[in-house]
Amino acid sequence: MGLPVDPGTDGAAAQRADHRGGRPRDPSRDDELCRAALELLAEIGYERLSIDAVAARAHAGKGAVYRRWSGKAELVVDAIERFKGPLAKPDTGSLREDLEEIARAFAETGSVFETRVMVGLISAVLQDEVLREVFRRHFEESRRQVFETVFRRAVERGEIPPERDLELLVGLLPALILQRVLLYGTPPDHAFARRVVHEVILPLATAPAPSPASPPTRCDR
């Protein structure tokens, strides 16, 4: 399902107008608009969310939104980034400690609001191609790079066999978080992330490489 087109103000035109002069942009409004977007995402879902509704909730003009974001996909993803914060970029010299640092980044919140925000986002990402691409490019990719760096360093230190499938390891925690949210409506917390690290990722990452199979013996009959 594609993004609904908001009638009225054109985003690109509003951005050009902003660069031509006029009142300077107030950075404090960014957080207010993002908060309004998250509240609406939790209350009515992504499909029904509109730029008009966000502007009205934040008591702002529609042009104020378009001067900051080109559309609602960019607005929602930016709001999620601000809400979740950046993922830790550890470099402790140990795979176990690096993954522990990442696990600690998942706060013990579990609030009803956070659950609704995540359910609204994930269900929309699965259905909306535009949102999915913006989410992948601006949110998921930066977190993926953190995991890739952690595992690549572990290979260089000899903690992980060089032939280990790093692509599989990188996707494990995000995949299990997605499953948890969709099936149980529960956002990830520190305890869950730590269990995944210790019971799934570390055992799989550090398991000894399998011995090469012996060639089959030919039996003459």
Please tell me the predicted confidence (pLDDT) of residue 105: 82
The per-residue DSSP string of 14-50 comes to HHHHHHT-SSPP-THHHHHHHHHHHHHHHHH-TTT--
**Distance in angstroms (rounded) separating the CA atoms of residues 187 and 115:** 5
Q: Are residues 96 and 189 in the same domain?
A: yes
Which tokens hold the place of 123? 């269900």
Cα–Cα distance between 116 and 105 in angstroms, integer?
Answer: 20
* Amino acid (one-letter) located at 5: V
Q: Is 1 in a helix, a strand, or coil?
A: coil
Buried b (16+ CB within 10 A) or exposed e, 153-190: bbbeeebbeeebebeebbebbeebbbebbeeeeebbbe
At 118-152, the pLDDT tens digits run 888 988 998 999 999 999 998 999 999 999 999 99
**95 and 196 housed in the same domain:** yes
Residues 197 and 92 in one domain: yes
Residue 65 predicted with pLDDT over 90? yes
Q: Which amino acid is at 129?
A: E
Are 97 and 148 contained in the same domain? yes
Q: Which two tokens stand for residue 213?
A: 């199979």
CA distance 98 to 77: 26
Q: Which residue has the higher pLDDT, 66 or 219?
A: 66
Question: Which alpha helices (H) appear in 50-165, and where do they start and end?
Answer: 51-57, 62-66, 72-84, 95-104, 112-127, 129-135, 141-157
76: nearest Cα among 11, 126, 121, 112 = 121
DSSP string, 156-192: HHTSS-TTS-HHHHHHHHHHHHHHHHHHH-----HHH
Range of the domain at 74: 26-79
Q: Above 50 in pLDDT, residue 211?
A: yes
Looking at the structure of the chain, the number of domains it has is 2
Contact 38, 99 (CB under 8 A): no
Q: What is the pLDDT of residues 102-122, one digit of tens each?
A: 988 876 555 778 888 988 898
Residue 194 has pLDDT above 90, yes or no: yes
Do residues 97 and 157 share a domain?
yes
- Residues with Cβ < 8 Å from 134, sequence gap 6 or more? 73, 74, 77
CA distance 119 to 112: 11
Check which CATH number belongs to the domain holding 55 and give it. 1.10.10.60
Q: Average of pLDDT values for 17-38?
A: 71
Query: In this predicted structure, what is the pLDDT of residue 177?
Result: 87
Whether 45 and 93 map to the same domain: the answer is no
On the question of pLDDT at 13 being above 90, the answer is: no
Average pLDDT score over the chain: 83
In a domain, 130, yes or no: yes
Of the candidate ranges 18-22, 85-89, 124-128, 216-220, the one whose mean pLDDT is the lowest: 18-22
